[in-house]
Amino acid sequence: MFFFLVLFFRITPQVFCLTLYVLTCLYPLPEPQDLFQASQMKFEDFERDLRKLKKDINACLGETEKVCKVSSEENLQPFKEKMEDFLTQAKTELETQEKQLADTQKIFLELSVSFSVKPKAGEKEVSPNTFFSVWHEFSSDFKEHWKKQNKLLLQERVKKAEESFKQARQKATYNVTTKNATGIVRHILFFFFFPTFLLFLTREDDAV
């Protein structure tokens, strides 16, 4: 397949290896920047935001009830129906977010225990900052070494590709030369024996 791409599309081994490297060589760990952002998160902030959202929904519910009380029956719809649908959906989504946050916090604490991470002084529980800061440093250092090793591997691949490409070109040149030589021999044999064959046929006709 490699020889086909190189010979047919006339791409160099370097371009082929670089393309293959980009397509197949993916960093195996979370990106350091993602881990850094995770370390800045606080469960308390999410809980506070959800409490504020719940307070806003309750305030919206109270205002809706006030409007419905002072409005006549002919003016209630479609306001009442639309607001009821909106508030029902808002409460459902809020409950879903609260459950997801609680589940995430539980999984995070279990993960911290499995890695034997202890809370820092002044913390009741392991915080995302404590846990992900360690992983951020590890991933940053690992990525630097990973880049260096991949650069060396890429250089080796390019070198092997150049050697394979060189051998393929030599083989292709050899095959073409052999084919041309065979064609020349066939032409020589044809032009040498064909007149003799015609002369033989002529003599046979004269004899008859």
Residue 18 inside a domain? The answer is: no
The string of pLDDT tens digits covering residues 55-107 is 999 999 999 999 988 888 888 888 889 999 999 999 999 999 999 999 999 99
CA-to-CA distance for 150 and 93, rounded, in angstroms? 45
Task: Give me the number of domains the chain comprises.
Answer: 1
The confidence band for 11, taking pLDDT boundaries of 50, 70 and 90, is very low
Residue 119 inside a domain? The answer is: yes
Residue 98 inside a domain? The answer is: yes
Domain that holds residue 133: 30-161
- Where b means 16+ CB within 10 Å and e means fewer, 58-91 reads eeebeebeeeeeeeeeeeeeeebeebeeeeeebe
The first and second tokens of residue 68, run together, are 């419905």
Mean pLDDT of the chain: 78
Q: What is the model's pTM?
A: 0.59
Comparison of pLDDT for 178 and 149, the residue scoring more: 149
